[in-house]
Amino acid sequence: MTFFAVFLLAVALSMDAFAVAVVSGCALQKPSPRHYVRLSAAFGFFQFAMPVIGWYLGVSVREYMEAWDHWIAFVLLAWIGGKMTLSGLRALRHRESCACPAVDPTAGSNLLVLSVATSIDALAVGLSLAILGTPIWGEAALIGIICACITAGGVRIGKTLANLCAFNGWAELAGGLTLLAIACNILREHQVF
């Protein structure tokens, strides 16, 4: 594949991560450099690692993965989205307009789940690259780097939106609902409904 083709592929693969990063930056309101680094590094690493894993799996499990990858991504995104939605509703019910979100999307299991959920499609790309006989290491590195940069930009945009509106409880609720919408859209794209 040409550099330009891999670049476009990396941007396309990073769109889920970008959406989650915007939501995270909005929910956190004032993300620290630590938040930027954790989210960008985790999303970038998983966008790098998943194509490599997919490439090594090769064609032997391709049909099985394609049958279930959208369900895995749906469950992971719906789980985090549900947690954020409930946390935002709790904050609104208790009128905690300036409180920090109860769910930090850049920490612990939340970060791991979001990283895996936003990079499942990269696993399928790795499988496809194996079929094409394309070497993986350079392509995967470019995908990971571009995703990390796009993620950092998404957090920044989310922070700007949160600061303009100053609506933490609403931001967390909107973020959770957005993740749920992304999860449902994954199923729609795979013609589940």
Q: How many CB atoms lie within 10 A of CB 30?
A: 11
State the residue for tokens 């919408």: 181
Contact 76/117 with Cβ under 8 angstroms? yes
- Confidence (pLDDT) at 167: 55
The per-residue pLDDT for 88 is 74
pLDDT score recorded for residue 39: 94
Cβ partners under 8 Å of residue 81, min gap 6: 175, 176, 177, 178, 179, 180, 182, 183
pLDDT at residue 97, rounded to an integer = 47
pLDDT at 108: 84
Q: Region of 191 please: left (phi>0), alpha (psi -120 to 50) or beta.
A: left
Residues 6 or more apart in contact with residue 113 via CB below 8 angstroms: 76, 79, 80
Q: Residue-wise pLDDT tens for the chain (193 aa)?
A: 788 888 888 888 888 888 888 888 887 878 899 999 999 999 999 999 999 998 888 756 666 666 777 787 787 778 777 877 887 787 777 765 444 555 677 888 889 988 998 888 788 788 777 877 788 999 999 999 999 999 999 999 988 887 665 455 676 677 678 778 877 887 888 787 7
Polymer length of the chain: 193
